[in-house]
Structure 1
Amino acid sequence: MKTLFLLAMLMALAVFVSAISPGSEKPKGKINRFLSDRVVLTCEKYPEVCLIKGSAGSDCCKNKCVNLSTDVSNCGKCGKKCSYGKICCEGKCVNPRTNEKHCGKCDNKCNSESSCIYGMCSYA
């Protein structure tokens, strides 16, 4: 009896694997419901998706959620790219190696006695 049950389970497994194998052809007219029922929300149609927790930012540029304050490809406005070596801080492209307000990173202000050299305050 155990052998018969094991044989039936193996046959059911073989049928299942052959039904989902990548080489098997789908019958015409049938749609994979798992993929077809998926709802895709884009920020151009639904800008509120950019406000969801975990989103890259609250602004929508070219159908992607971005943060215009920090995104080097969309700094301050959509499509404004920062040149090589610059970063986007507060919506402006700055050079972190020399900028006194953004020395090395955004919002890293050097004190009045030091200056920003090579991205460090008081390098010398």
Structure 2
Amino acid sequence: MARSFFIMALAMAFATSLAFATTSINEEQPTMAPSSDEVFSEDESSPVTGTSRFLAQYKPRATMTCDRFPRICRAKGSSGPDCCKKKCVNVMKDNLNCGQCGLRCRYGTTCCSGRCVNVMFDPQNCGGCKNRCKKGSFCSYGMCNYA
């Protein structure tokens, strides 16, 4: 019993001395806190609204979108050379923008060379884009001459 009381008293003394040490260090350093008028303008947040000063001084960067900078769609690693609704796409392959922006392919069709085709039955795109069946054969269920 006495041993646990001693350990508990020692832990409390250590915590108290640590708390006083950190407050005395902070008091020794002069603080040059600017007034709230200097830090925050009318359009920025203040500590009253819940945003810290640190976050309030940094505004997010404007992202580069292809509607303002169309060249970014032609950059290496881009998802496509065309710009549709602020996104880089390839209108020759994209099912949501097939041939032009906003033209969606229906269910069961795929965008091949800018056209919506049914790859299950199209002999020019049998089973996938540019997969042609031999002359005189047909496409059925995505396979040439399926019987």
TM-score norm. by structure 2 comes to: 0.61
Q: CA deviation at 1:123?
A: 1.1
Distance (Å, rounded) in 1 between the aligned partners of 2:72 and 2:134: 40
Question: What amino acid is the match of 2:73?
Answer: C
Larger Cα Rg: Structure 1 or Structure 2? 2
CA distance, structure 1, for counterparts of residue 99 and residue 142 of structure 2: 22
Cα offset, 1:39, TM superposition: 4.8
Query: Once structures 1 and 2 are overlaid, which stretch shifts more, 89-98 or 109-118?
Result: 109-118
- Counterpart of 2:102 (choices 79, 84, 96) is 79
The C-alpha deviation readout for 1:8-64, integer Å capped at 9, x for no partner, is xxx9xxxxxxxxxxxxx653374374x73x451100000011011121110000111
Matches within 5 A, 1:12-31: 26-28=51-53, 30-31=55-56
Q: Find the partner of 1:54 among 54, 57, 77.
A: 77
How many pairs are equivalent?
A: 100
- Distance in structure 1 (CA, Å) of the matches to 2:115 and 2:134: 21
RMSD across aligned positions (CA): 2.2
Q: Deviations over 1:64-103 (max 9, x none)?
A: 1010001111000000011000000110000001101100
- Give every structure 1 segment of 4 or more consecutive aligned residues whose post-TM-superposition deviation is greater than 3 Å: 28-33
Q: Which residue in 2 is equivalent to 1:18?
A: none
Gap regions ≥5 residues in structure 2: 1-17, 23-49
More helix as a share of residues: 2
TM-score by length of 1: 0.71
* Counterpart position of 1:104: 127
* C-alpha separation in 2, matches of 1:122 and 1:84: 24
Q: Which residue of 2 aligns with 1:88?
A: 111
* Larger RCO (CA within 8 A; separation ≥ 6): 1
Q: Which runs of 5+ in 1 are unaligned?
A: 1-6, 12-24
